[in-house]
Amino acid sequence: MAAMAPLRNIVILTGAGISAESGIDTFRSAGGLWEQHRVEDVATPEAFARDPDLVLRFYDMRRAAIQTKAPNPAHDALARLDRNWDGGLLIVTQNVDDLHERAGALLGISGRVLHMHGEHLNAWCTACDSRPRWSGTLIDRPPCPTCGEAALRPDVVWFGEVPYEMDRIHAALGEADLFVSIGTSGAVYPAAGFVRNARSLGARTLELNLEASQGSRWFDETRLGPASELVPAWVDELLDG
């Protein structure tokens, strides 16, 4: 990128593409359909009300699958950045897997990761509003560990629901000198709008993606290729520069 004002505060947005090379399907790729359902048809409160077994089965399958996957070099590189970057850093992930944390946990880093669409490994009790860690199934309607009600659902953000920690995200975008988007299609808001928010607030913007996304035109720079190559190279550049 062109040399500009010193870089201190970075916001990184990650999407399904960063976990693709760990073997987790993206949503809008060829493999993104689940039993003929598009994510837009399963990931809604209306779908859950209409057919809870279908939705719980979808999430039970994915919760089990992520526990068999491992972080890839892109997650490792962001964990390395987190360890070595003295300025502000917020990794906002749309992903509900825990691969950023597992890359960091292996390397002993802090918690600068925010899951704006929730987490597979949490359940949400709609009776008492607790959010227990959860690695098993929900289809069998287990009781909530806090209140005993059989009212647990996946702790993920469905279409029509408000993503988590928007105030913290907007505060970080307002402070950002650099906004970097990794492996996201730019199809889902409000995340798809962060590049324009960041730009209008003065940040430089960089996209790392396998192919051009719906939002590419909003970025100052787009680099195309697999995240496992682009992200470590970019982190090297940043830490060495």
Q: Which two tokens stand for residue 129?
A: 């509003």
- 30 binds ligand BJW, rule: CB under 6 A: no
How far is C-alpha 13 from the chain's CA centre? 7
Does residue 223 touch ligand BJW according to CB under 6 A?
no
55-to-27, 61, 193, 198 alpha-carbon distances in Å: 15, 10, 28, 34
Q: Please report whether residue 222 would count as binding ligand BJW according to CB under 6 A.
A: no
Nearest residue (CB) to ligand BJW, 116 versus 176: 116
According to CB under 6 A, which one of 9, 122, 181, 209 is a site residue for ligand BJW? Answer: 209
Q: Which of 107, 117, 115 is nearest to 82 (CA)?
A: 107
Q: Which is nearer to ligand BJW, 155 or 177 (CB)?
A: 155
Please identify which residue in 36, 189, 200, 241 interacts with ligand BJW, judged by CB under 6 A.
189
Per-residue CA distances from 66 to 12, 39, 215, 231 (Å)? 22, 17, 27, 21
For every residue of 52-74, which 3-state class applies, written as one string? HHHHHHHHHHHHHHHCCCCCCHH
Is residue 117 a contact point for ligand BJW (CB under 6 A)? yes
Choose the stretch contacting ligand BJW; rule: CB under 6 A; options: 39-47, 80-88, 143-151, 215-223: 39-47
183 is a site residue for ligand BJW (CB under 6 A): yes
Segment contacting ligand BJW (CB under 6 A): 46-54, 79-87, 141-149, 180-188? 180-188
117 catalytically annotated:
yes
| 180: helix, strand or coil | strand
Q: By the 8 A CB rule, do 201 and 176 touch?
A: yes
Please tell me which residue in 75, 100, 117, 120 is annotated as part of the active site. 117
Q: CB-side exposure of 156: number of CA atoms within 13 Å?
A: 26
Please give the residue ranges that form the binding site for ligand BJW (CB under 6 A).
15-17, 20-21, 26-29, 32, 39-40, 43, 94, 96, 117, 156-163, 166, 183-185, 187-190, 209-211, 213, 226-227
